[in-house]
Structure formats: C-alpha cells, structure tokens
Amino acid sequence: MNNVLEDSMDQHNLTNDQKEERSLHAISDLGSHHIVKKVERYKDAWVIHTDDSSSFNMGDYGREPKPGDVVTLYYVNGRWTMFRGMDLNGVPLYFKTDAEVETERQASIVKHKAEQRQRFIDSKDELDAHYDALPDVFKQRIDKFRTGNPDFRWEYEAYEMFTCTQAVLIAEALKDEQSIVAFPDLPWEKQLAAVPGLSDGHSGNTFGAAVLLARLYVTNQEFVVKMHGAMVPLVGCEEYGCTHDKEADR
C-alpha cells in the first residue's frame, strides 16, 4: 500500500499508459543514468552537462536540476537517438508512449511536407528558368522524374536541378572526359578556378552525381537521361520517381 501510494505520487504527472510503458523501458534502459556535473540555463530550458562528458537539453518540467543529481534518459531507438522520456533522481519529468512518439513523428512529416511545398512555391519561377536553360538531354532527365513521381517537383526537383545545372557547368568548363575524371581530386581553389561558378553548397552526394553526369554528358548523352536520380542513393528509385526500362537497366 505504501509503495503504491509512493509510486502514484512520484508519477502523478504521467498518464496510466505512460506509466506502464515507462516501467517496461526502465528495465531495458538501466544503463542510461547520468550524473549532473553542471547546469546552464538556455532560453526556456536547462542544459545538462554530465560527468560522462555528454550534454543535452532537458527542457523545463518545473524542477530545477542540480550538480550531483541523477538523470535517466529513455530513447526511441537505442542510446542517443531521440529522447522519449527523462527522470530526475528517479522521478519522471515526462515519458512518451509508443503511440505518442508515432503521433509526433507523423506530425513532423506533415510539417516537413508543408515546408517543402512552400519552398517549391517560392522557387518555382527560378526552377522553371533553370529547366529552360538546360540542354535537351537534361530536360529529358528532369521530365522522366516528373512523370515517374507526380510529387517530384515539390519534393525533389530543387535537389535534382541543382545537381544538373552544376553538371552542365562542369561539362562546359572542362569539356573532355579526362579533365572531368581528374577534377574531383583537385584542391578546392583549383576546382573553382577550373569551373567558375562551382557552388560551395555541394554535399558529397550532389558533387559526385554532378561530376558523373558531366562525364556522361561528354561521353554518352543517352545515359544522362538513364542515370539514377541524384537523391536516389538516399531515398531509392521508387520514392524519387526514378523509372527504368527493365531491359536497359541490366
């Protein structure tokens, strides 16, 4: 009776579902205890530095952490992925059930898609102008994705267009296959000197794809159309709208 009372007082801020799932996680996540070394205030939250050299944002759940306190962290997928809950000295600050984690995940997808749509609306004129300036084989390449995925324009076109315009720039500046093959190994200053207008906003993925497309453009233009989409290594052909003629794909 005493235990039950104590337990219910300690967890008064949790729902029954949260209590139940927390008790399951408390068993499997026993290792994620951290001793508070230093506490800082940042905006509306406490930032915790621990004696095992990790730092994280605790938020503010109405209880001020102090050096020497023990914080228990609960994760969505293994250590140092997203937090689903925290205890301060064994008493929960919050805990999210699987259903709550999933609801938040869905909401963040909806928000991300809304932001993507808005970015597309804002940049449509610019994308159209880049498209109009592309050589025909690159236009056919973009057309392939637009046909393959009705949402391609707002989901991925900015990424693909950036890669394609940079590929054309590289091909027109370097002109032959040998120079394009040697290009990625040059130091940055020499790359920029060889290809004026080369963007400093490349990821490893867009840069690699742009160089490969440039090479195909000066050697075998048909493959500019056929080559996988620039973001396919990250999201896959089907999601991107990267369609293939089965015969030609082998």
Instruction: Provide the binding-site residues for Zn ion, judged by CB under 5 A.
Output: 228, 232, 237, 242
Residue of 162, 157, 165 lying closest to 134 (CA atoms)? 165
Q: Which is nearer to Zn ion, 70 or 237 (CB)?
A: 237
Helix (H) or strand (E) holding 29: none
Closest-by-Cβ residue to Zn ion is 242
Residue of 96, 158, 91 lying closest to 123 (CA atoms)? 158
Q: Which is nearer to Zn ion, 172 or 239 (CB)?
A: 239
Q: Which is nearer to Zn ion, 164 or 174 (CB)?
A: 164
Nearest approach, Cβ of 167 to Zn ion (angstroms)? Answer: 16
User: 3-state DSSP call for residue 236?
Assistant: coil
What does the alpha-carbon distance between residue 224 and residue 153 come to, in Å, rounded to a whole number? 19
Q: Which is nearer to Zn ion, 117 or 226 (CB)?
A: 226
Nearest approach, Cβ of 3 to Zn ion (angstroms)? Answer: 59
> What are residue 70's DSSP bridge partners?
35
Nearest approach, Cβ of 246 to Zn ion (angstroms)? Answer: 12
Q: Which is nearer to Zn ion, 171 or 232 (CB)?
A: 232
Residue of 129, 135, 124 lying closest to 216 (CA atoms)? 135
Can you say whether the dihedral through the CA atoms of 211, 213, 218, 223 is positive or negative?
A: positive
Nearest approach, Cβ of 140 to Zn ion (angstroms)? Answer: 15
Nearest approach, Cβ of 105 to Zn ion (angstroms)? Answer: 27
